[in-house]
Amino acid sequence: MTSLRSLYTSDGDGPEFGTNMNVDYVIHYRIPKDGAEAEAGFIQLVEALSRAGLATEVRSGDDSSLLVFVKVASEKLLASHIYRERVQDWLYGVRIIAPDKTVAVEFSSRPVSEAERLRTVYLLITKPKNEGGAGITPKIGQWKDIVSIFPLHNHAFNRQWIKQWSSKYLLNDKDLDQIRDKFGESVAFYFAFLQSYFAFLIFPAAFGFAAWLLLSRYSTFYTLLNSLWSVIFFEWWKKKEVDLAVQWGVRGVSRIQRPRTQFRWDREAADPVTGETVKVYSPVKRLKIQLLQVPFALVCLTILGALYVFCFSIEIFLSEVYDGPFKSYLTFTPTVILSGALPALSAILSSFAEHLTEKENFETVDSHHASLVQKLFVINFVTSYTPLFLTAFVYMPFGNLLVPYLNIFNITSEQSSGEDSVVAESFTINPDRLKKQVIYFTVTAQIVNLGVEVVMPYVKRKVFKEVEKAQSKKTATSDVPEEHAFLERVRDEAKLDVYDVTGDYREMVIQFGYLSLFSAIWPLTPCSFLINNWIELRSDAMKIAVTSQRPIPWRADSIGPWLNALGFLSWVGSLVSSAIVYLFSGEAEGPGGDPSGIVGWGLLLSILLAEHAYLAAQFVVRHVLSQIDSPGLQKERAERFAMRKQTLEESIGDALTEKPLSLPLQTAEKITRESLEEDARRISIHGGGTPEQMFWLRQQGVDETIRIGRQFITEAKAAKR
Amino acid sequence: MTSLRSLYTSDGDGPEFGTNMNVDYVIHYRIPKDGAEAEAGFIQLVEALSRAGLATEVRSGDDSSLLVFVKVASEKLLASHIYRERVQDWLYGVRIIAPDKTVAVEFSSRPVSEAERLRTVYLLITKPKNEGGAGITPKIGQWKDIVSIFPLHNHAFNRQWIKQWSSKYLLNDKDLDQIRDKFGESVAFYFAFLQSYFAFLIFPAAFGFAAWLLLSRYSTFYTLLNSLWSVIFFEWWKKKEVDLAVQWGVRGVSRIQRPRTQFRWDREAADPVTGETVKVYSPVKRLKIQLLQVPFALVCLTILGALYVFCFSIEIFLSEVYDGPFKSYLTFTPTVILSGALPALSAILSSFAEHLTEKENFETVDSHHASLVQKLFVINFVTSYTPLFLTAFVYMPFGNLLVPYLNIFNITSEQSSGEDSVVAESFTINPDRLKKQVIYFTVTAQIVNLGVEVVMPYVKRKVFKEVEKAQSKKTATSDVPEEHAFLERVRDEAKLDVYDVTGDYREMVIQFGYLSLFSAIWPLTPCSFLINNWIELRSDAMKIAVTSQRPIPWRADSIGPWLNALGFLSWVGSLVSSAIVYLFSGEAEGPGGDPSGIVGWGLLLSILLAEHAYLAAQFVVRHVLSQIDSPGLQKERAERFAMRKQTLEESIGDALTEKPLSLPLQTAEKITRESLEEDARRISIHGGGTPEQMFWLRQQGVDETIRIGRQFITEAKAAKR
């Protein structure tokens, strides 16, 4: 990792990286073409910020933009906002112990982290005016000229972070806590997940390696272990997630919903609950749009599926049937088509997904995000796994039947070449094709991906920087010399990509899918992932520290919608891998096995059994894990207990002061039943004796009850004799 | 229902039914044989009660028992206990609004219901001494001579209740609220469930009837509708349950766990959370015992399955193969064997299940109960559905192959009769057998069950009463004449069964199973259940009011473990009914269809498809229902909102008084960049100017920022030209 480290170090040495000038946020304002509009927009921006209690400084950006530096004008105002948020957390049950009534005590017992401060300031900038914010929404409506709002990197921390991580094998809780304090729980959860996944991968890597050495291909035993592992990992993570949320004090934070600015409402109505005016959008309308997800998924499947089938057919034809001229060049055709068409199609479908989600018109950021992720997952599922599905379930079992239909190419190429050099005969299924494909997706593609993700942006940035330096020298001149280096640094950061944790989650979840669905084909898959993810952890850190703007430190209490995707893949894995094992384990010995030994009901039965075994295993694992205590839950219980004890002691007062009335054990006079009845009769004569009163007056005091009871006991004995 | 009504009325007319003498509970104490032990035990009982603040009166019971009447000595003590419980509810989040700090105000705004009072008194009697109770645990240890502790029926209410319910078609929320106020949420939830289930049955009854009229047997369409219905009902009930819990103020009450008296601990240890001494039982030990559930389920399946296979074989042989002497008598053999052996075996297995659960040694009443219910459900599942499974999946498809093996009986009967009159030839499968069996289980058995459940205990009770009256006249003589009638009534109630809602749930859940698994065979099933459940609702009310002791009014926030059983049956239903439809729908036209048209993979495929269609439907229904608001959740939100508003207003104080500091828009002097830099330089010369301070001093106030910004904008425009 030394190279990665130096990559960073070479960049962060000057004194301009030592201070952020107390800047909380930088607003990157693109100057519109119309001069009047530009000035008006800028003035509105500065005034809105000022009204929300934020101090501003403006500096020039690049040729056509301004950088507005923002910090909170008064620390007291910020403290009051943070305190208010903490109280809200308490009311929503996110934190169990109420904030101390003295603000100073509260902040000294639970200091404000960088992430908390930055989040609060961001909310102050973006919250609507009636809630005390500046109401600034980048890129939207009135604020369409605001390119971005970003905090400045803490380069001292970043450098140390990268240095630390690149020199240790495993991350511990402290490392994650640091991420949380700097980048918020949302990013910290990603790293926590990746770290857990990485650590868990050691098991399948070990038995995968053993299976590769000792067992035959398509091993049932390996598949069972792998499936069980995926259940355990999934269930364990669900628990760990809760635990982390408690430790980080964000459990249930997803209940505090951030309203979406783009939400459009049908009408305003009085809330039946609060009586306040709320914005209503008909859930039926939304449901109608949500139904479009079904055709959307089908369209994705059809379009991407068709593309794959097309390329697949060409590929098979060229590599295994065709033997005409230019074969060595032509074999690249499908790759060229795919690498051109696939990203384009994916992008079109993704933007369509975004559109659809926009139309669903959610009220909160979280529900919008979850819905979008769901759709992106469908696209990713199809693009990632279709080639393997085609090979495993179409080419391998039915190749002999289907390849002759590729004659259509045969004819075409005959016509074009004008000769009879195409040999479509002697076709046999290539049994290694499946394995080769899996290796491609689990090794080659991962390496390529790493390059695209980290090295390319870094190189791109360096190149752009040089080009720009050459082009425009003039902005530099207008800076005050002391600030020049700092401002240049900020201008650089303004040009960086916005970091989106979604992309990183997607990558890992799709990877988990390869493991769960297809690793039966090549049991070294988990080993490859283990190595890849060790690097991935560091390279993602690099991505945040070097090639992205510092992310807004949002909170989160889980990995969100990806959890469902993970569960789904783990479950589909049980179906797909059992089918693969059933189909191919027989032919493991000799190549080009005969599919006649395979029976429909055998395949279905193995799928059915595997699925139910999976569900049963899930049930058992869930039960066992639920029995185990975890530090986070223990902490929560302890806090709850302390809170309860305190509340009980403090606020109940009068009601509980009374001690149970112990009736005195009187030294009673000798009482016969007759005298008691006498008493009762006397009461009834003197009035005031209801039957109920009389009933309870017959035995006065415990002693009498005991006496009479003994009498009954003696009588009962006597009667028995 | 007039007869049921009169059944009750004839019984509750005397003045002794008008009052309960302010008695809260009656403790039925059986006098042990040893006289000294008897007296000591009795004295301990009375003293323990007295120490917990309870007043007592003793009367003689039957020949060998005492009745100890208990009431709370001081209403203030009771109030303090109830108030304390309400505070606890609030701390656990069961109620959202905190109890009013003045006890009187709290009780006048939320009056104490009969159920709440009785529950509190019961806890006072049974709670351990160190928690302020009397520590009395009926039937266990020191208190083994206490037969029962029961509250007295409120006969005035009961009479009105039965009268009302027997004269209306549908119950409404008010009826359920009444039950809740008198018998607690636990019983009220059962009636709410039964009522909802009854109302929902109208749909399958309607389309079942239509299917019976119009469609062929084993209709796919009916099965799909029925399966969809069961999904909707299940998901709807899950929502309704939460709603009811909120309305009744018991949501989350299951979190407040009642400790089990029988819990045995390994060791005492300091709780890591609270520091208090707690009793620890190793979860690993428990897990080991829980693993025994698997062999237990297998044993149930084997034993009961073997019994059924045995009887089934005899039955088939006798009814459809055998044609020898005494045939008309012999056909009853299997019925006789079954009705003798099945209840005995069930009882043995149930007591085994109880033993096993006892061994699992749970800490709380709820977890113990849930675990027991799970085991009982296994037994009930096997006993209820095995006959139909055998007919549908063994007899019908394989009858032709298997029946010849019944020759073993053939030989035996040949030897015994000495003649050749047994005709084992000409065997054909009886296609109506399945339908007949379903009709038996869904109509005949339900009617028989109703008789056993309601009419028999009533008759039994009447008879016993007469017998007893004839036998012992003497206890009557020792009573005070005014109390005699009342005491006789109490003695009667002491002899009644303890009402256990578990049995009633079991009956309904098993019924739901018939509907979900087998109603494809006979689509009139839901009609039969609809009628049955109308009566069931009333007869269960009768059971509580007339033939059982008044139940202890426990709280509950759901139907508990039965919910899982319901979900399980609904899911298994999708598998079983699709298999049935696939197997038999082809032969619907002609009897004795040929199984050769049935293929293994077709069966498996239809099961696989049905199951996944079921899961997909469940997903969709869940999603749609989650979009719909419910009155209970609305109420909860309203309370939470009010609470939050109040807390925010009350307790935050100083931190929020500060208004955002709006920086004054100064009428600034004309500022040039040069003069600003001058300022900054001045500061740096005079010391005290860190780079950060200087950065923020360049533009003093909003006006300056705006001015400088405008300058930048103008410059940018100029540069572009």
Instruction: Tell me the C-alpha distance between B67 and B479, whole Å.
Output: 12
B414 vs B18, higher pLDDT: B18
For residue B104, give the chain A residue with the closest CA.
A655
Instruction: Tell me the C-alpha distance between A612 and B575, whole Å.
Output: 12
CB contact under 8 A, B660 and A52: yes
Rounded to a whole number of angstroms, the distance between the first and last alpha carbons of chain A is 97
For residue A76, give the chain B residue with the closest CA.
B658
Instruction: Tell me the C-alpha distance between B11 and A594, whole Å.
Output: 81
Q: Please indicate if any CB of chain A lies within 8 Å of the CB of B163.
A: no
Q: Please indicate if any CB of chain B lies within 8 Å of the CB of A278.
A: no
User: Region A358-377: what's the mean pLDDT?
Assistant: 91
CB contact under 8 A, A680 and B708: no
A473 band by pLDDT with thresholds 50, 70 and 90: low
| Inter-chain CB pairs, A–B, below 8 Å | 287
Model pLDDT, residue B414? 47
- Least Cα separation, residue B714 to chain A (angstroms): 8
User: Region A212-228: what's the mean pLDDT?
Assistant: 90
Q: Is the pLDDT of residue B181 over 60?
A: yes
Instruction: Tell me the C-alpha distance between A404 and B399, whole Å.
Output: 46
Q: Is the pLDDT of residue A347 over 60?
A: yes
For residue B30, give the chain A residue with the closest CA.
A713
Model pLDDT, residue B183? 95
The radius of gyration computed from the CA coordinates of chain B, to the nearest angstrom, equals: 35
Q: Are B658 and A77 in contact (CB under 8 A)?
A: yes
For residue A714, give the chain B residue with the closest CA.
B35
Q: Please indicate if any CB of chain A lies within 8 Å of the CB of B481.
A: no
Nearest to B38 among A23, A643, A713 (CB): A713
Which chain A residues in 609-628 lie under 8 Å from chain B, judged by CB atoms?
Answer: 624, 627-628
User: Region B684-703: what's the mean pLDDT?
Assistant: 75
Q: Which residues of A touch B52 (CB under 8 A)?
A: 660
Pick from A211-215, A542-546, B130-134, B437-441: least confident: B130-134
Rounded to a whole number of angstroms, the distance between the first and last alpha carbons of chain B is 97
Instruction: Tell me the C-alpha distance between A502 and A562, whole Å.
Output: 9
Q: Which residues contact B650 (CB under 8 A, 6 or more apart)?
A: none
Q: Give long-range contacts, CB 8 A cutoff, 24+ apart: B210-215.
A: B211/B523, B212/B522, B212/B523, B212/B524, B215/B523
Q: Give long-range contacts, CB 8 A cutoff, 24+ apart: B595-602.
A: B595/B397, B595/B398, B595/B400, B598/B397, B599/A600, B599/A601, B600/A599, B600/A600, B600/A601, B600/A605, B601/A599, B601/A600, B601/A601, B601/A603, B601/A604
Model pLDDT, residue A356? 93
Q: Which two tokens stand for residue B390?
A: 């055998």
Instruction: Tell me the C-alpha distance between B502 and A32, whole Å.
Output: 73
Q: Is the pLDDT of residue B259 over 60?
A: yes
- Least Cα separation, residue A224 to chain B (angstroms): 20
Model pLDDT, residue A421? 44
Model pLDDT, residue A2? 42
Q: Please indicate if any CB of chain A lies within 8 Å of the CB of B703.
A: no
Q: How far is CA A685 from CA A693, B57, B561, in A?
A: 13, 22, 57
A382 vs A406, higher pLDDT: A382
Phi-psi domain of A30 (left: phi exceeds 0; alpha: psi -120 through 50; beta: other): beta
Residue A254 exposure: Cα atoms within 13 Å on the Cβ side: 16
Which chain A residues in 388-417 lie under 8 Å from chain B, judged by CB atoms?
Answer: none
Angle at A306 between CA A302 and CA A307, to 5 degrees: 125
Helix, strand, or coil (residue B465): helix
User: Region B377-396: what's the mean pLDDT?
Assistant: 91
Q: Please indicate if any CB of chain B lies within 8 Å of the CB of A22.
A: yes
Nearest to B60 among A627, A651, A712 (CB): A712
Pick from A112-121, B22-31, B701-710: least confident: B701-710
Nearest to A601 among B50, B601, B660 (CB): B601
CB contact under 8 A, B665 and A47: yes
Percent helix, strand and coil across chain B, each to the nearest 5: 70, 5, 25
Q: Is the pLDDT of residue A236 over 90?
A: yes
Q: Is the pLDDT of residue A198 over 90?
A: yes
Q: Which helix (H) or strand (E) holds B270?
A: strand B267-270
Q: Which two tokens stand for residue A494?
A: 């303004």
Model pLDDT, residue A349? 93
CB contact under 8 A, A712 and B480: no
For residue A132, give the chain B residue with the closest CA.
B660
Instruction: Tell me the C-alpha distance between A559 and A581, whole Å.
Output: 32
Name the maximum alpha-carbon separation found in chain A: 131
Instruction: Tell me the C-alpha distance between A494 and A138, whole Å.
Output: 14
- Which among A91, A244, A106 is positioned nearest to A635, based on CA atoms? A244
Q: How buried is residue B248: exposed, middle or buried, by Cβ count under 10 Å (0-12/13-18/19+)?
A: buried
Q: Which two tokens stand for residue A432?
A: 């290694």
Q: Which of A37, A43, A57 to mutate to test the interface with B (most CBs of B within 10 A)?
A: A57
Model pLDDT, residue B176? 92
Neighbours of B533 (CB within 10 A): 21
CB contact under 8 A, A691 and B21: yes
CB contact under 8 A, B708 and A478: no
Phi-psi domain of B653 (left: phi exceeds 0; alpha: psi -120 through 50; beta: other): left
Instruction: Tell me the C-alpha distance between B336 and B313, whole Å.
Output: 14
Helix, strand, or coil (residue B31): coil
User: Region B413-427: what's the mean pLDDT?
Assistant: 48
CB contact under 8 A, A695 and B483: yes
Q: Which residues of B touch A101 (CB under 8 A)?
A: 651, 653
Q: Please indicate if any CB of chain A lies within 8 Å of the CB of B678.
A: no
Q: Are B117 and B108 in contact (CB under 8 A)?
A: no
Q: Which residues of A touch B16 (CB under 8 A)?
A: none
Model pLDDT, residue A409? 52
Q: Are A342 and A357 in contact (CB under 8 A)?
A: no
Q: Is the pLDDT of residue A415 over 70?
A: no
A462 vs B237, higher pLDDT: B237
The string of DSSP codes covering A640-692 is: HHHHHHHHHHHH-GGGGTPPP-PPP---PPP--HHHHHHHHHHHHHTS---HH
Pick from A77-91, A493-507, A640-654: least confident: A640-654
For residue A624, give the chain B residue with the closest CA.
B287
- Least Cα separation, residue B83 to chain A (angstroms): 7
- Specify the residue for token string 């299951």: B254
Model pLDDT, residue A673? 52
- Least Cα separation, residue A564 to chain B (angstroms): 12
Q: How far is CA A618 from CA A231, A235, A547, A719, in A?
A: 6, 8, 40, 64
What secondary structure letter does DSSP report for B139? T
Pick from A361-365, A630-634, B183-187, B601-605: least confident: A630-634
Neighbours of A631 (CB within 10 A): 12
Which chain B residues in 538-567 lie under 8 Å from chain A, judged by CB atoms?
Answer: none
- Least Cα separation, residue A543 to chain B (angstroms): 28
Q: Please indicate if any CB of chain B lies within 8 Å of the CB of A91.
A: yes
Q: Please indicate if any CB of chain B lies within 8 Å of the CB of A370.
A: no
- Amino acid symbol at B670: K
Average pLDDT of every residue of chain B: 83
For residue A598, give the chain B residue with the closest CA.
B601
Name the maximum alpha-carbon separation found in chain B: 131
Neighbours of B699 (CB within 10 A): 25
Buried b (16+ CB within 10 A) or exposed e, B44-59: ebbbbbbbbbbbbbbb
- Specify the residue for token string 């309601």: B454
Model pLDDT, residue B420? 45
Model pLDDT, residue B584? 87
CB contact under 8 A, B644 and A91: yes
Model pLDDT, residue B454? 76
Q: Which two tokens stand for residue A115?
A: 């992430």
Q: Is the pLDDT of residue B481 over 90?
A: no
Neighbours of A294 (CB within 10 A): 10
- Least Cα separation, residue A633 to chain B (angstroms): 10
Helix, strand, or coil (residue B68): strand
Q: Which helix (H) or strand (E) holds A192?
A: helix A173-214
CB contact under 8 A, B607 and A608: yes
B81-104 pLDDT per residue, tens:
898 888 888 878 788 888 887 888
Instruction: Tell me the C-alpha distance between A581 and A575, whole Å.
Output: 10
Rank A247-261, B589-603, B671-685 by mean pLDDT and report only the highest: A247-261
For residue B629, give the chain A residue with the closest CA.
A283
Q: Please indicate if any CB of chain B lies within 8 Å of the CB of A53.
A: yes
Instruction: Tell me the C-alpha distance between B57 and B22, whole Å.
Output: 12
Q: Are A12 and A126 in contact (CB under 8 A)?
A: no
Quote the ipTM score: 0.79
Which chain A residues in 233-272 lie under 8 Å from chain B, judged by CB atoms?
Answer: 272
Q: Which residues of A touch B661 (CB under 8 A)?
A: 53, 73-74, 77
For residue A62, give the chain B residue with the closest CA.
B716
User: Region B24-44: what's the mean pLDDT?
Assistant: 88
Rank A702-716, B501-515, B690-704 by mean pLDDT and report only the highest: B501-515
Model pLDDT, residue B427? 65
Average pLDDT of every residue of chain A: 83
B150 band by pLDDT with thresholds 50, 70 and 90: very high
Model pLDDT, residue A195? 94
Q: Are B68 and B58 in contact (CB under 8 A)?
A: yes
Pick from A242-246, A407-411, A494-498, B279-283: least confident: A407-411
- Which among B437, B440, B431, B403 is positioned nearest to B322, based on CA atoms? B403
Instruction: Tell me the C-alpha distance between B194 and B188, whole Å.
Output: 10
Model pLDDT, residue A590? 39
Q: Give long-range contacts, CB 8 A cutoff, 24+ apart: A344-348.
A: A345/A303, A345/A304, A345/A307, A346/A304, A346/A379, A346/A383
Instruction: Tell me the C-alpha distance between B29 and B39, whole Å.
Output: 11
A29-77 pLDDT per residue, tens:
998 888 788 888 899 999 999 999 899 999 888 878 899 999 998 888 8
Q: Please indicate if any CB of chain A lies within 8 Å of the CB of B288.
A: no
User: Region A133-162: what's the mean pLDDT?
Assistant: 91
Q: Is the pLDDT of residue A8 over 90?
A: no
Model pLDDT, residue B349? 93
Q: Are B65 and B29 in contact (CB under 8 A)?
A: yes
- Amino acid symbol at B502: T
Q: Are A304 and A345 in contact (CB under 8 A)?
A: yes
- Phi and psi dihedrals of A56, rounded to 5? -130, 155
Q: Which two tokens stand for residue A540?
A: 């993602």
